[in-house]
Amino acid sequence: MISVAQRIVRRRELAEEIVQESFIQIWQHAATYEASRGSALSWIFTIVRNRALNVVRDGRRLDLVEDDTLDMLRDRDAVIDDAFERLDEDSRLRRCLEGLESERRKGVLLAYVGGYSHGEIAGILGVPLGTAKSWIRRALAALKECMA
């Protein structure tokens, strides 16, 4: 859980804070959760990811990386590649992601693993916002199709 948060917020202390808050949220909301929205495991990770996303959307990630941009870029790509590489060799998700064009795959991974927004992804991929949005939409539709 800590690593999932850390992939998004980068800083270890912040990731631990998020996990701490997530555990408390999980505990407090245990009674109100609906199982039809997914398995327990995916729900737990959803809470962690959403909390981490709130932190970065508040701009707290920006505070952390100003001083070392090049490292940050290297780190960002490493985080994305690492998540993909760690998928099991015979994982269907891996196979389906491999089937996507590399920039579209990167777009999906940047969003899910790194917690980047459409605008940030467009900037990273060097394409207009509309293009990034439509690439990701198509990639998501293709993933759904491939994994069905």
Q: What residues have CB less than 8 Å from 125, skipping those under 6 apart?
A: 103, 106, 107, 132, 135
Residue with tokens 């800083």: 11
Residue 126 structure tokens: 């060097």
Q: What residues have CB less than 8 Å from 66, skipping those under 6 apart?
A: none
User: Using CB under 8 A, which of the segments 58-66, 98-106, 122-130, 138-146 binds other proteins?
Assistant: 138-146
> Counting contacts by CB under 8 A, is residue 18 touching other proteins?
no
Number of residues interacting with other proteins: please give it, by CB under 8 A: 59
Chain contacts with other proteins (rule: CB under 8 A): 1-4, 6-7, 12, 15-16, 19-20, 23-24, 26-31, 33-46, 49-50, 53, 82-84, 86-88, 91, 93, 108-109, 111-113, 115, 117-118, 136-137, 140-141, 143-144, 147
